[in-house]
Structure 1
Amino acid sequence: VEVRERDVAVLECTIVRKLPRKLEVLEGENAAFCVEVESDDMEINWYKDGLKLHETHQTILKSFGKTHILVIVNVAYQDSGVVTFVAGRSKTSSRLKVKATRHSPPICPVGVKMDVDRPNSALLTWDPAPNSPTSTRSIFVLERQEVGSQEWQKCFTSETATSAEIGGDSVPCDGNYRFRVCCINKYGRSGHVEFPKAVHLVPGPKICTRLKGCEVVEGEDAHFSIELSAPMVGTWFLNSAQLQHGGRYSIQQSQTQHSLVICETCTTEDTAEVTFIANGVRDSAVLRVKPAVVKFNALSDLDSHKRVDIGNPIVLYCEVSHPFAKVSWFKDGEELQLTDGLNIQSDGNMRRIVIQSADASHSGVYTCETSGDVIKFNVDVSEPPVMIVEPKDDVVMESFISEEIHLQCELSRSSGRVRWFKDGQEVEESDTVQLICEGPYRRLTILNGSVEDGGEYVYDSVAFLVTIAGKNEDIRATIYFAGKPIVLEIEVSRPSAEVKWWLNGREVEESSNITITEDGLIRRLTIHSPTPEDSGKYTCDAVDDTIDFQVKVSGKRQCHVSFGDDFCPKMRVLPGCRR
């Protein structure tokens, strides 16, 4: 029993320095509590109104060996209560009482002075009251009143400054003005202290919106503007040189707003100082001009290698990466200049030159160059190709033996070459063949036509299909065909007459491609799908009479029949022929 009582006594005596029975602090101050225990390894805890306290921004808990401290920061009235410290089985308590502070309005400033020995302004100074409370935030308020008026206007406020310079640009009109100052905090306002003198102030201009620096890329326009408090005339300067409206400079004014536009800036104007000056107003800003990094877009092969006919326009164009890029055009190393027949154009990112009418001297290498890139054009000016003006289509002609045959073409230009071909072989002049060239006309004349002169004559892309027939002999027709059936047809004198068809001396027999038909007096041979192998002399034999057809099948051209599609050669069997 004695041991247990002694242990209890020891536990109760572990707190060496106890809390005060009562602690009173003012609202807004810090409440501090300190205890000391016998051993520095004791487990301790702080409580307020039975709730355990933890470290926060308002509650500070510190331990220094055997000493333990609690600080409640910036106490408020609701922080009043019982604070308890517990160490083991021992504890000590203190009642915290927070007293409300007395809310007093601020005290008037003192030592007010006015200095009016300066143009169109007054310097006002004052001092805070010596016994002004420092725990509450206060603001000094300066007010003005035009002499003769009853109304005071606020013109300056500050929490720390004890002086202010009032200029003419802060007053609305010309007049004499008085001033007073007071002090304000959250609990009220002090009395006003009026300055002893009055000062005459004249309103003047001031800057409402200052100049701002401008940064552009070479070739772009630079814009500057400034706004004043009153309308007035101003002057612009660039590096101390006065600017005038016109050319690259656009100067405008609209009431209190002044503006300057520098068009098509260049890199030499980089870091230039732009200054605006008006009556009593001056402001400056810096112009920054960055060089434009210009590149050409790639050209297609068709654009970079131009082939132009004489007399046609030459148009060379390219695209740059910046719309304000400056370029120069060269031909064979020589810079090009504007002339009557040459235009140099710029449209957005497009750069072009136009030569109205090309001639041989315009052939060469053209280049478009910037400070950082080059693009090249190869131009070849040549004669346009010779075209056949007339005839536009192939011609089918019929002639008779011994007659002259005239073939003629009209060309687009007199300088065209003369080359005629017959059945694929070039025609040469002879005693019976004339090749004539007169200006744009090309003629081939056969003086005494024969059956052998029939065939296909070609000049460039035009064919003349010629058939030669006897005047008083059996009809011999030459037929050219490609892709359409060939029909050979005769008329006999009696319906019972028998005929045979021959090709180059061999009898023609019916097949899937050849049909031989009779229709009354009509005898007909039809080749449904002719080929060049079907060319030759076809003979219709009626025993006592015959008739020949000269047929040539061309695989390249449409059907050309010398007698027309509706021609039907006929023959009558002589009286002595076999029936």
Structure 2
Amino acid sequence: MCELSREDAPVRWYKDGLEVEESEALVLERDGPRCRLVLPAAQPEDGGEFVCDAGDDSAFFTVTVTEPPVQFLALETTPSPLCVAPGEPVVLSCELSRAGAPVVWSHNGRPVQEGEGLELHAEGPRRVLCIQAAGPAHAGLYTCQSGAAPGAPSLSFTVQVAEPLLVKLVSDLTPLTVHEGDDATFRCEVSPPDADVTWLRNGAVVTPGPQVEMAQNGSSRILTLRGCQLGDAGTVTLRAGSTATSARLHVRETELLFLRRLQDVRAEEGQDVCLEVETGRVGAAGAVRWVRGGQPLPHDSRLSMAQDGHIHRLFIHGVILADQGTYGCESHHDRTLARLSVRRECPVLS
């Protein structure tokens, strides 16, 4: 403010040699002989040398605007100490009184470096330190300091990382023997009950599917293989942490027996013949074989075989005298025999 000797004397205001213009950030006031330049919300950049020029005389003012010290505002909800399990994420955050203020993070007195699962963020006035997956090395005292000057305001957080729980197998897998087509269920008890486990079969990781079910009941882990086939036999393993247990699965072939057996057949030379049997269950392709005189059937275009569920048939087209003999149908568990007799075709006399 300056005061003139005459109320109506004109004045000009200058800052750092340039005439100022009135705005929201700079207000010029006059009350009789008193002239004022007002900075309603002074910022550091508003500082400088101001001149009130009345023509024959001038008044000089040097203005210095200093920033207020950075302060930490109300604490956020992060508890201290912050206790986390191994592998869990950690987020430490605080809010400053000025958005652009620099901060320095330290861990147990050493500057924090970004990388290897640790990130630093600035979100307006908030400063955030993120640990993606906590490990034992991340435990300790974290400090966020406003600037690097000694004695600057700071805020500290204590992070505790729990010791990883030791996974134990309370019981081992038991070997199983099942019949072909039956279900096989393996069980194992683990501790703690929520421990992560992996099932393997013959060294390959098992995933759920139409024939594979995995379940948990408290501390029990259950693997069920539905409708076991001979090819499912092998080693089943449950792996938990650094421990594992294995057991063998044996699959016994179900007996393939003949419910309806071969019957003797008489035919005339040139006729088509069908030999037929019925099995107690549907066998896989090749589960039964046809023989003649105890030997595999010869390669002959007149011979053909077919399967329709439980029914197995042998067709002989246009039988000849050489076809007669004993025919058999065999499985690994049963055999049935029948005699084919062929009569010579009698010539018709005219």
* TM bracket, shorter-chain basis: 0.3 to 0.5
Which has the bigger relative contact order, CA under 8 A and spacing at least 6? 2
Q: Considering only CA atoms, is the larger Rg found in Structure 1 or Structure 2?
A: 1
- State the TM-score, normalized to the length of structure 1: 0.29
